[in-house]
Chain A
Amino acid sequence: MWIFRRYILLVLWLAIADFLFAQEPDTSFTSLNEIVVSAKPVLDYKSQTKPLSSLDEYMEKMTNVGLIKRGNYAWEPMLNSMASERIAVTIDGMHIFGACTDKMDPVTSYVEVSNLKEINVSSGQSGASSRPSIGGSVDLVRNCHEYTSSGWSGAVNFGAESNASLVSAGAKVKYANHLFFTEANFMFRNADNYKAGKNTLVNFSQFTKHNASLTAGVKVAESQTLTASLIVDNATNIGYPALPMDVSLARAFITSLEHTAKAISPAIEAWNTKVYFNTLKHIMDDTKRPNVAIHMDMPGNSETYGLLSNAIVNVKKHKFIFGISGYYNRSLAEMTMYPKNPLEKPMFMFTWPDIRTLYLGLNTKDHWMINAHHHLNYSLHAGFQQNKIADEKGLQSMEIFYPKASPTKNRFLYGLQAGYTFEKNGFEVTFGSGYGERAPSVSEGYGFYLFNSFDKYDYIGNPDLKNEKSVDANVGFVYRNNKVKVNVNGNYFHIFNYIIGAINPALSPMTIGATGVRQYTQLPFAQIANANLELSYKPIWNLAFKGLFSYSYGTDNKQAYLPLIRPFSFRFNVNYTIKSFDFEVATEGAAKHYAYSENYGETATSAYAILNLSAGYKLLLPQYQLYVKVGVENIADTYYTTYADWNHIPRRGRNFFVSLSFVFDKTNRCH
């Protein structure tokens, strides 16, 4: 899989720790790794700059990943400068669709870092195996388990931060023997309003989150296991300072049952089959906001039933993956507004009129190790998608805009991709290309007066949208020796039938304060390019320098800039280790965002840079380990905002943090 690596898997920024802590025993708790199929050691969370940071903070440090912030919680991931509609975010391959019409609950908000082993990021079509996407896919891979007689183990984690009085506390208990394992994991986080730089309080930025996860597995036969898992995530009182509303409840039940058979035959390495179900509930709340023009209730629900089955087959120098994927989603959201005059009846509309999405797809991949220097990989996928407006009233509402709207819409979605890697003497060259298609999202197809507080327009879906199609290309170059690593890579997406909202001046906005109405439509094309340069230098074994420079570019068919495209930005850090102590100095920043989209309500953001410091101590004993980390972020208390901050809400100011992890565990790492 090495061949995939440059483009398929994005590396956590702090992979530098690989160099530093390669020898340390792995306790597989709360650690997030890049997927590495080569012999590279896994990355341990305790070596992270801030061990108990949120999943969002982890993801922010990944190359080609951006996060749209609407507050201090539930940031929306972007990959290759593309947000939710164009990427597929899954948990262990399971499809989950946010229940919020305003994207307040990306899939990533329903899991905890402590549930996850790694984040598997696939760029472009290489990731489109289980669901068609344009920009790629992000799979949050949960902790795995081995059937060893390790008995009881566990950990206790605690973190505190000065800014927002953030408290994180978690615990894990695990039991395993050669036939059975079970793991229970609990995490609690609570934050008050945070302060941006210059001691500026950001109101409505608080949140409370409880996450519990339970997994149990049993060996049903030699090389066959059955694993059941449940995640319950319950977040309450979540403020969204960039939006006109908050969330009183965001709740998820995520369940799955998986059967795994390994080494079925000399050729069939493994066969995994999973059935899953998840249900999300999202309740927005404006009761705490002052001067609300009109009070409204906006609940949303999303339920998904799915099936996944993958077989890994080795034939000579080929490693094939054959898969089927299917899911059925139900998305329903509504809005009830309460007029100031109590004699008037409440005003009601479906914002997602009970949309059912059925997807069935087939996919295959081959990784062909031609020889030690040449690798080739290619994949194909094809799927059928049906959307249906299940609610008759919803269809009638849609007919106001589309008199010929049909309750069902069927599409076929295809994709293919090929990549090549050549490596020799520390040099590595990769290039690849792909073609893919995606169906419009529920909001793009069927959303009804969804207010976008960024450009201040109400958005109306369009059930007649054609498939969006993309041709992408990527190229990368790596050089490494034992002191230096240079990695230059870039990708380009040419997207046809690019789906975006266009102003319809004939329509009157529904939301009080909205400028107008946009209807989803398609541009002939748009183009997006991303480039990264990573440099690492390790003059001596315990000192490392690392720099990352990123730039993205996106325009529509008229050369107008697309919204939410990252300007030139950088990260730089220095790590030093001595005995049981490690130290890090890190800086990050961005140039002025001049390539902003005026059409979509963007304005320029200024250049900025912030400085972070941290220090860690670890005590490693055979029966238990203790990790302590302290640090300060944004030391200068700089007031700043970035291209990805919704309505330019400022980011956090100075923040001191401390985290403690006490782990009683025996070495037990699985793959």
Chain B
Amino acid sequence: MKRILFMAFAVLLLAVSSCKKENNNKASETEDLTQIQEVSNANFSVEIWGVKSGFETGYNDIYFRVKDKTSGVYLQDASLSWYPEMHMMSMSHSCPNSTIAKMNGKQTLYKAYAIFTMATNATEYWDAKIDITKNGEVSTVIPVLNVVASSTKKVASFTGSDSKKYILAYIEPQKPKAAVNDLVLGLFLKNGMGFDAVQNLNIEVDPRMPSMNNHSSPGNENPVFNPSDNFYHGKLSLTMSGLWKLNLIVKNANNDIIGGKAVTQTEDSNLYLEVEF
């Protein structure tokens, strides 16, 4: 009798601990993330996760997990590729985005970014064609991505003085502080239906608080191109919380203005991004 009790207890313990372990494992895979949607085809179920509970215009980190529907196991060695696309009334276009790559230190989590240039509306929408390659076989899902307008301006499209079409996006800090923050901006050139990262232009940032009579801050450093991630990295100092407007000027190597203009007493730059915290 004692032995049975003991075994029952051991089994229970084991069950609890393994259950806990699995929970732990799962939690650590998607810790601090929120599942936005799930889409499946005959073979796979693709979970889409984000930092927030949905997609916003501007830069979005997007996370993926793919479950094999027959085995119920999350894939660890799949190859994923995607193509986010905006379907407009008259045309379709993509947006600046990265390839989907397995995340370092994660078992089942894949990541990409997309910079949505506009929000979903009644007649126009985003989707993403996701190809899952496993053992040489390609399987596709095409989830519709619902993109809402960000409360602040996080992406700016403009036609430069060189008549080319550019997209400038706010990437970091995602958690701004009243401090000197690491600033990351993305600058892209429209190339057909896709976008290429721009690396030979200069960006000047002039952060201001419109509600504080265009108060600015010291200690900013203009972002410079970094080939490791194809973004521009600089320093952004924010003296207090609230809404900051990053007035921008994009120049070429000859110091010719491609976009934006200097802030004056009466006018801000027509090229700007916003950060609010």
Contacts and interface: CB of A to CB of B under 8 A. Distances in A.
Nearest to A517: B218
Contacts of A267: none
Interface stretch (A79-87, A341-349, A562-570, A609-617): A341-349
A397 B176 CA distance: 12
A509 B214 CA distance: 9
Interface of A is mostly: loop
A393 B179 contact: yes
Given A337-B212, A400-B180, A347 B217 contact: no
Nearest to A513: B213
Interface in A349-373: 349-350
Interface string B188-220: 000000000000000000000101111111110
Of B213, B216, B277, chain A has the most CB atoms within 10 Å of the CB of: B213
Contacts of A448: 239
Interface string B142-153: 000000000100
Interface in A98-133: none
Interface residues of A, number: 31
Nearest to A399: B180
Contacts of B216: 508
A346 B242 contact: yes
Given A393-B179, A403-B180, A507-B218, A449 B239 contact: yes
A397 B179 contact: yes
A179 interface: no
A51 to B, nearest CB: 48
B212 A401 contact: no
A294 interface: yes
B240 A393 contact: no
B36 interface: no
A339 B276 CA distance: 12
Interface in B236-266: 237, 239-243
B87 interface: no
A671 interface: no
A348 B241 contact: yes
A401 B218 contact: yes
A341 B274 CA distance: 15
Contact of B209 (A335, A343, A347, A393): A347
Contact of B219 (A345, A401, A512): A401
A340 interface: yes
A184 interface: no
Interface string A486-515: 000000000000000000001111101100
B241 A349 contact: yes
A396 interface: yes
A350 B179 CA distance: 12
Contacts of B217: 400, 508
A635 to B, nearest CB: 46
B218 A506 contact: yes
B179 A347 contact: no
A508 B209 CA distance: 11
A180 to B, nearest CB: 54
A408 B92 CA distance: 58
Interface in B212-230: 212-219
B178 to A, nearest CB: 5
A400 B239 contact: yes
Contacts of A293: 213
B243 A396 contact: no
A400 B179 CA distance: 6
B177 interface: yes
A599 to B, nearest CB: 22
Nearest to B276: A345
B218 A512 contact: no
Interface string A572-597: 00000000000000000000000000
Nearest to B177: A396
Nearest to B214: A508
B212 A347 contact: yes
B215 A393 contact: no
Of A335, A400, A506, chain B has the most CB atoms within 10 Å of the CB of: A400
A400 B237 contact: yes
Of B214, B219, B242, chain A has the most CB atoms within 10 Å of the CB of: B242
A155 to B, nearest CB: 51
Nearest to B216: A508
A347 B180 contact: no
Contact of A341 (B178, B211, B218, B277): B211
A512 B243 contact: no
Interface in A371-406: 393, 396-397, 399-401, 403
A337 B241 CA distance: 10
A166 B179 CA distance: 47
A349 B218 contact: no
Contact of A397 (B178, B212, B213, B215): B178
Contact of B211 (A347, A393, A400): A347
B218 A400 contact: yes
Contacts of B243: 339, 344-345, 347
Contacts of A348: 178, 240-242
A506 B216 CA distance: 10
Nearest to A340: B211
A345 B242 contact: yes
Of B178, B216, B240, B242, chain A has the most CB atoms within 10 Å of the CB of: B240
Contacts of B179: 393, 396-397, 399-400
A350 B239 CA distance: 10
Nearest to B211: A339
Given A345-B277, A399-B180, A401-B218, A512 B212 contact: yes
A349 B239 CA distance: 7
Contacts of A401: 218-219
B92 to A, nearest CB: 33
A509 B215 contact: yes
B215 A510 contact: yes
25 contacts: A293-B213, A335-B240, A337-B211, A337-B242, A343-B151, A344-B276, A347-B209, A347-B211, A347-B212, A347-B241, A349-B178, A393-B177, A396-B179, A396-B180, A397-B178, A397-B179, A397-B239, A399-B180, A400-B179, A400-B218, A400-B219, A403-B180, A508-B214, A510-B239, A513-B213
Given A347-B243, A397-B178, A509-B215, 20 more contacts: A294-B211, A337-B211, A337-B212, A345-B243, A347-B211, A347-B240, A347-B241, A348-B240, A348-B241, A348-B242, A349-B241, A350-B178, A393-B179, A397-B239, A400-B218, A400-B219, A400-B237, A507-B218, A510-B240, A512-B212
Q: Which 10 pairs between the two chains have the least Cβ-Cβ distance?
A: A347-B242, A396-B179, A349-B240, A339-B211, A508-B216, A400-B237, A348-B241, A512-B213, A344-B243, A510-B215
Interface of B: 151, 177-180, 209, 211-219, 237, 239-243, 276-277
